[in-house]
């Protein structure tokens, strides 16, 4: 068993790198799609609101694999697309996989962002308005930082779902970590070693994402940030205030 | 018109695939909910080791890619069965049915997420009604079924309904181990007719309709439960 695992290591490493790359690009693209959708969902214009709602409903209800197959096998049938400038990108499995993962996640991320933006204390927005801030300034300086703090926990969960979701790309011939595991199985006829190894690598990646989100949480919260710099008593105070927070509102 | 005829010629197979998808989703949701409820109750029991073990196992399943769990249920379980029956002289290749491997994997995943939903619901229960029931002399089981469970259901319902949609959306993954479900049938139809777009759009429409139906049931149920709550 150990020698088999040793032989399999380069393949697993290669797969891990592909999975990490997929995760990285998806985590970058998804919020870029989700933020405009979140803003549209709660905008003043009815048409925008309809679009935002529709987008969220559509991509939250559509299975990831169906979206992936539709983009990978279905899009090449659209002639207009085949002659467009985007075609060299959409012909390759990797960008299509990133697009499918990002669209799928954007439905959920938009809902998280919209919820977090709505949860920003109205008093702060009113104070900024009274102080003469423009709408863009209020959004950038008041709403966005507040919402980031409020939504970060759910957002972290969503990042884990993206990471787990990347495993489906092996369906469209991308040699990711999941694909490496099945490849090793088909060579050795031993499913346990590759599946357990891949499982452990996925777990380590999930733990890394969770650790990054926790660090972000600390950095984004001024109280927690102060507590982190020094006094333990302050950390206790923050912990208490956090516990009380939901009942205060 | 031509596309309609094309789609209609595959309607029988697609309906069969839809049946497989629905059976897989229904079975794993029912079984997974039962297991998840059991795990949530185990986790709420006094003791350190047992509850921790349950929560750790649930967390582990939640962190692994669903596809990996499905592969583990299909290849790993067959491999283990093979190792178990080998000493009795059975040396052939042991394979388990893709459908039942899918039920096993999706049940496990549904249960792992349900554990968290039910645990949260039980934690959110107000202590008053339960103390009152105890004070009236009700025993532990009636307190649970008559007071704690109906109250917890209201807290758990939104999360649980979301999980049913999640589990429905996971069923296409079981096609990876050869299950002829709705998505795989749509793929076959696409390959045969050279019209992937049509059949994948059709499949997507059916999945969306199912998700919307669950959403509607959720709204109805929530309205019903909160009506009793207010009255």
**What tokens appear for B60 in the block?**
């582990």
Indicate the number of domains in chain B.
1
Report, in this order, helix, strand and coil percent for chain B, each rounded to 5. Answer: 85, 0, 15
- Contact indicator for A111, A39 with CB cutoff of 8 Å: no
Q: What is the ipTM of this complex?
A: 0.86
Q: Which 8-state DSSP code applies to residue A201? A: H
Q: Three-class SS of residue B149?
A: helix
Q: Three-class SS of residue A210?
A: helix
Q: Locate the chain A residue with the closest alpha carbon to B214.
A: A61
Q: Is residue A69 part of a domain?
A: yes
- Contact indicator for A62, B204 with CB cutoff of 8 Å: yes
Which residues span the domain enclosing A49?
2-206
- Report DSSP letters for A93-156, one per residue: HHHHHHHHHHHHHHHHHHHHHHHHHHTS-HHHHHHHHHTT--HHHIIIIIIHHHHHHHHHHHHH
Residues 6+ apart with CB under 8 A from B107: B27, B28, B31, B32, B35
Indicate the number of domains in chain A.
1
Of B66, B200, B207, which has the smallest distance from its Cβ to A74's Cβ?
A: B200
Cα(B53)–Cα(B171) distance, rounded to whole angstroms?
28
- Contact indicator for A96, A71 with CB cutoff of 8 Å: yes
- Domain CATH for B74: 1.10.3720.10
Res B92 pLDDT > 80: no
| pLDDT tens, position by position, B17-42 | 999 999 999 999 999 999 999 999 99
pLDDT of residue A136: 92
Cα(A232)–Cα(A221) distance, rounded to whole angstroms?
16
The H or E element containing residue B215 is: helix B196-230
Distance from CA of A128 to the nearest CA of B (A): 36
- Contact indicator for A110, A41 with CB cutoff of 8 Å: yes
**What tokens appear for B34 in the block?**
């039962």
pLDDT of residue A113: 93
Q: Is residue A216 part of a domain?
A: no
Distance from CA of A234 to the nearest CA of B (A): 28
Q: Is residue A17 part of a domain?
A: yes
Query: Which 65-104 residues of chain B touch chain A by CB within 8 A?
Result: 65-68, 71-72, 75-76, 78-79
Quickly count: other Cβ atoms within 10 Å of residue A245's Cβ.
9
Distance from CA of A111 to the nearest CA of B (A): 14
Q: Would residue B89 be called left, alpha or beta, if left means φ above 0 and alpha means ψ between -120 and 50 degrees?
A: left
Contact B201 A70 (CB under 8 A): yes
Q: Is residue A239 part of a domain?
A: no
Q: Is residue A28 part of a domain?
A: yes
Of B66, B200, B204, which has the smallest distance from its Cβ to A73's Cβ?
A: B200
Instruction: Give Cα separations from A232 to A35, A211, A224, A238, B109 (angstroms).
Output: 37, 21, 11, 10, 39
Q: Which of A4, A59, A65, A72 to mutate to test the interface with B (most CBs of B within 10 A)?
A: A65
- B176 lies within 8 A of chain A by CB: yes
Percent above pLDDT 90 for chain B: 52
- B187 lies within 8 A of chain A by CB: yes
- B196 lies within 8 A of chain A by CB: yes
- Contact indicator for B221, B161 with CB cutoff of 8 Å: yes
Distance from CA of B142 to the nearest CA of A (A): 31
Of B63, B66, B71, which has the smallest distance from its Cβ to A206's Cβ?
A: B63
pLDDT of residue A2: 56
Which residues span the domain enclosing B77?
2-230
Question: Is A175 exposed, middle or buried, given 0-12, 13-18 or 19+ CB atoms closer than 10 A?
Answer: middle
Residue tagged 């954007």 (tokens):
A106
Contact A66 B187 (CB under 8 A): no
Per-residue pLDDT of chain A (249 residues; tens, 9 = 90+): 556 667 778 899 999 999 999 999 999 999 999 999 999 998 889 999 999 999 999 998 899 999 999 999 988 888 777 777 778 777 889 999 999 999 999 999 999 999 999 999 999 999 999 999 999 999 999 999 889 888 898 899 999 999 999 999 999 989 999 999 999 988 888 888 889 999 999 999 999 999 999 888 888 877 666 666 655 555 555 555 554 443 332
Q: How confident is the model at residue B96 (pLDDT cuts 50, 70, 90)?
A: confident
Q: Locate the chain B residue with the closest alpha carbon to A182.
A: B71
pLDDT of residue B71: 93
pLDDT of residue A234: 56
Cα(B227)–Cα(B222) distance, rounded to whole angstroms?
8
**Chain A contact residues (CB < 8 Å to B):** 57-58, 60-67, 69-70, 73-75, 77-78, 160, 163-168, 170-171, 178, 181-182, 185, 190-192, 195, 198-199, 202-203, 206
pLDDT of residue B1: 59
Cα(B52)–Cα(A214) distance, rounded to whole angstroms?
22
Cα(B119)–Cα(A89) distance, rounded to whole angstroms?
45
pLDDT of residue B60: 92
Sign of CA dihedral A34, A36, A41, A47: negative
Of A65, A164, A199, which has the smallest distance from its Cβ to B172's Cβ?
A: A65
- Full 3-state SS string of B4-26: HHHHHHCHHHHHHHHHHHHHHHH
Q: Is residue A105 part of a domain?
A: yes
Picking from B116, B146, B12, the residue whose alpha carbon sits closest to that of residue B56 is B116
Q: Is residue A94 part of a domain?
A: yes
Distance from CA of B208 to the nearest CA of A (A): 5
Q: Is residue A222 part of a domain?
A: no
Cα(B115)–Cα(B123) distance, rounded to whole angstroms?
12
- Contact indicator for B175, B98 with CB cutoff of 8 Å: no
Please report residues of A whose CB lies closer than 8 A to that of B196: 69-70, 73-74, 77
- Domain CATH for A48: 1.10.3720.10
- Contact indicator for B69, B108 with CB cutoff of 8 Å: yes
Cα(B156)–Cα(B139) distance, rounded to whole angstroms?
24
Cα(B174)–Cα(B25) distance, rounded to whole angstroms?
11
**What tokens appear for B127 in the block?**
């202590």
Residues 6+ apart with CB under 8 A from A113: A31, A34, A35, A38, A147, A151
- Integer-rounded Cα radius of gyration of chain B: 22
| pLDDT tens, position by position, B131-179 | 999 999 999 888 888 888 888 888 898 889 989 999 999 999 999 888 9
Distance from CA of B111 to the nearest CA of A (A): 17
Task: Give the CB-side neighbour count of residue A160, counting CA atoms within 13 A.
Answer: 23
């Amino acid at each position: 068993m150990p020698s088999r695992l040793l032989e399999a290591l380069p393949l697993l490493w290669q797969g891990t790198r592909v999975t990490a790359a997929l995760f990285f690009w998806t985590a970058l693209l998804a919020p870029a799609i989700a933020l405009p959708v979140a803003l549209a969902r709660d905008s003043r214009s009815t048409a925008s609101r309809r679009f935002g709602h529709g987008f969220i409903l559509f991509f939250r209800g559509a299975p990831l694999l169906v979206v992936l197959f539709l983009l990978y096998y279905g899009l090449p049938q659209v002639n207009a697309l085949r002659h467009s400038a985007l075609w060299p990108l959409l012909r390759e499995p990797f960008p299509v996989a990133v697009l499918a993962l990002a669209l799928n996640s954007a439905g959920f991320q938009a809902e998280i962002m919209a919820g977090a933006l709505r949860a920003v204390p109205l008093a702060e927005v009113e104070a900024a308005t009274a102080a003469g801030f423009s709408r863009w300034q209020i959004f950038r300086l008041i709403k966005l930082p507040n919402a980031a703090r409020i939504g970060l926990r759910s957002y972290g969960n969503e990042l884990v779902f993206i990471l787990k979701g990347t495993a489906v790309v092996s369906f469209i011939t991308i040699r990711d970590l999941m694909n490496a595991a099945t490849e090793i199985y088909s060579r050795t006829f031993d499913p346990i070693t590759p599946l357990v190894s891949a499982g452990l690598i996925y777990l380590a990646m999930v733990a890394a994402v969770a650790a990054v989100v926790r660090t972000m949480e600390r950095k984004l919260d001024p109280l927690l940030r102060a507590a982190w710099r020094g006094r333990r008593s302050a950390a206790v105070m923050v912990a208490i205030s956090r516990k009380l927070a939901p009942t205060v509102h | 018109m031509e596309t309609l005829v094309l789609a209609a010629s595959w309607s029988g197979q697609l309906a069969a695939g839809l049946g497989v998808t629905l059976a897989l989703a229904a079975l794993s949701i029912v079984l997974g909910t039962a297991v998840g409820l059991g795990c949530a109750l185990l986790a709420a029991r006094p003791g350190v080791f047992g509850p921790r073990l349950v929560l750790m196992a649930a967390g582990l399943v939640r962190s692994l890619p669903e596809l990996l769990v499905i592969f583990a249920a299909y290849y790993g379980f067959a491999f283990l069965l093979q190792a178990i029956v080998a000493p009795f002289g059975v040396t052939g290749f042991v394979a388990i049915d893709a459908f039942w491997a899918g039920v096993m994997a999706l049940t496990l995943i549904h249960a792992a997420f349900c554990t968290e939903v039910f645990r949260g619901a039980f934690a959110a229960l107000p202590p008053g009604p339960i103390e009152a029931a105890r004070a009236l002399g009700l025993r532990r089981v009636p307190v649970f079924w008559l007071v704690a469970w109906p109250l917890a259901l209201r807290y758990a319902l939104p999360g649980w309904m979301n999980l049913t949609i999640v589990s429905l959306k996971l069923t296409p993954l079981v096609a990876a181990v050869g299950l002829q479900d709705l998505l795989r049938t749509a793929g076959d139809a696409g390959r045969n007719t050279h019209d992937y777009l049509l059949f994948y759009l059709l499949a997507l429409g059916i999945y969306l309709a199912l998700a919307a139906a669950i959403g509607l049931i959720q709204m109805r149920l929530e309205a019903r439960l909160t009506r009793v709550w207010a009255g």
